[in-house]
Structure 1
Amino acid sequence: METLDPTRLVTVTLFLLVLLVVWYFVQRYRGSLTSKLSANRRLVMKEALALGHDRRILLIEADGKPFVVLDSRKGTSSLTPLEAPLKSEGTE
C-alpha cells in the first residue's frame, strides 16, 4: 500500500480548492453566464412533455416563431406552427 506523501496531499488539496472556487463563481454568476451563452441562439426548446413511453410533445421557438413538435421513437414526427406568440415566463 502506498503512503500519502506531502506532495500528493498538497496537490489534491490545491486541486479541490480550485474546484471549489470555480464552483462558487459558476453558482454566483449563473444567470449572466447562461444569458451570454444563449444570446445568439435561433432555436430554443421551451418545454417538453412525455405523452407515453414512446411519444412526447415539444414546444419550440425558431426565430421568434412558436412551433409544436409531436415526436415518436418510431420515427414519425409532426411539426405544427402556432398562431399566437409565446408569452414570456414573467408576463401573463
Structure 2
Amino acid sequence: MDLLRPDQILTLAAFLGGLGLLWWLVIRNRGALTARIAQDRRLRVLDRVGLGPGDHAMILRVDARDFLLVRLKGAPAVLHPLDPAADARPEGVQ
C-alpha cells in the first residue's frame, strides 16, 4: 500500500507551484495593490506609537487634514488638529 500515489504528488506540486506564483505576483505588485485598496478611503492612520500599556498616540489623515489622537488608559481621547504650515517653518521660528 503506497502512502502517496504519483497523481497525488503531481496535484500537490501543481498546487504549491500555483501558490508560489500567486505569492510572487502579490510581492511584486505590492505598491499598486496597496494604492488600489486605499484609494477611496477618507480616513488613514499615518503613524502609531505605543506610550505604555494601553496608551498610544496616532497621527490620522482625514480629507487631507492631519490630526493627533492621544488615547490614555482611564482618560478620554484627545484629538488635536495639526497645522500643516507648522511643518514648513524652520526650527525655533514661531
Q: TM-score, normalised by structure 1?
A: 0.81
Q: 1:3 to 1:57 in 2, by over 3 A?
A: same
Amino acid at match of 2:24: Y
Give the whole-Å Cα distance in 1 for the aligned partners of 2:75 and 2:21. Answer: 45
Amino acid at match of 2:48: A
Give the whole-Å Cα distance in 1 for the aligned partners of 2:72 and 2:43. Answer: 20
Give the whole-Å Cα distance in 2 for the aligned partners of 1:61 and 1:77. Answer: 17
Identity across matched positions, percent: 28
Q: TM-score, normalised by structure 2?
A: 0.79
1:3 aligns with 2:6: no
Give the whole-Å Cα distance in 2 for the aligned partners of 1:6 and 1:80. Answer: 64
The alignment yields a C-alpha RMSD, in angstroms, of 2.3
Structure 2 segments unaligned to the other structure (5+ residues): 88-94
Q: 1:72 to 1:2 in 2, by over 3 A?
A: farther
After superposition, where does 1:35-74 map in structure 2 within 5 Å? 35-74=35-74
* Number of equivalenced pairs: 87
Query: Which of the pair is proportionally richer in helix?
Result: 2
- Which of structures 1 and 2 has the bigger CA Rg? 2
Give the whole-Å Cα distance in 1 for the aligned partners of 2:47 and 2:81. Answer: 15
